[in-house]
Structure 1
Amino acid sequence: MRIRGSIRKILLFFSFVLILLGFWFSTTNAYTFIKGYMLFHTGQTKIVKSAEEPSRLHKGNLNREPLYSIRPNKGENIGNLLIPKLNATLPIFHGTDEEELERGVGHFEKSVLPGEQDNSVLSGHRDTVFRKLGEVGKGDKLIVETSAGTFTYKIRHVRIVDKDDRTVIVPKPRATLTVSTCYPFDFIGASPERYILVADLITQKLT
Structure 2
Amino acid sequence: MLSVATQRQPEPKMPILVRGLLIAVAGLGIWMAAQAAVIPAKAMVAQILLNSAFEVSQASGTAQKPWPWADMAPVARLRVPRLGVDQIVLSGGSGEAMAFGPTVLPGTAAPGQPGTTVLTAHRDTHFAFLEDLKTGDTITVADMRGNVHDYKVTGNKILHWAAFSLDPADNQPGLALATCYPFDSITFGPNRYVVRATAVSP
Aligned partner (choices 159, 184, 187) of residue 185 of structure 2: 187
Match of 1:75 among 72, 82, 86: 72
Structure 2 contact 109–117 (Cα < 8 Å) conserved: yes
| CA distance in structure 2 between the aligned counterparts of 1:170 and 1:188, rounded to whole angstroms | 32
Q: 2: distance between equivalents of 1:106 and 1:191? A: 20
Q: Aligned partners of 1:134, 1:166: CA distance in 2, in Å?
A: 18
Q: C-alpha distance in 1, partners of 2:63/2:112? A: 13
- Structure showing greater radius of gyration is 1
- Give the AA of the match of 1:105: P
Q: How many residues align?
A: 135
Q: Is the 8 A contact 2:63 2:75 kept in 1?
A: no
Corresponding position: 1:134 with 2:119:
no
Q: Which runs of 5+ in 2 are unaligned?
A: 1-60, 66-70
SS at match of 1:196: strand
Deviation at 1:166, TM superposition (A): 3.2
Asked if the contact 2:80/2:139 (under 8 Å) is kept, the reply is: yes
The partner residue of 1:98 within 95, 100, 124 is 95
Letter in 2 for 1:145: A
1:28 aligns to what? none
Looking at structure 1, the residues matched to 190 and 155 of structure 2 have their Cα atoms a distance apart, in angstroms, of 20
Q: How does 1:48-197 map to 2 (within 5 A)?
A: 75-148=72-145, 149-167=147-165, 169-171=166-168, 172-197=170-195
Q: Residue by residue, what CA displacement relative to the aligned partner does 1:28-82 show, whole Å, maximum 9, x if unpaired?
A: xxxxxxxxxxxxxxxxxxxxxxxxxxxxxxxxxxxxxxxxx98999612101100
Structure 2: distance between partners of 1:79 and 1:166: 23
TM-score by length of 2: 0.61
Moved over 4 A (4+): 69-74
% same residue: 26
Task: Please give the secondary structure, in 2, of the residue aligned with 1:164.
Answer: helix
| Structure 2: distance between partners of 1:109 and 1:132 | 23
Structure 1: distance between partners of 2:64 and 2:175: 18
Root-mean-square deviation over aligned CA pairs: 2.2
1:42 aligned residue: none
Q: Is the 8 A contact 2:63 2:73 kept in 1?
A: no
Structure 1, unaligned runs of 5 or more: 1-68
Matched-pair contact (CA < 8 Å) for 1:72–1:94: no
Question: What's the CA shift for 1:173?
Answer: 2.8
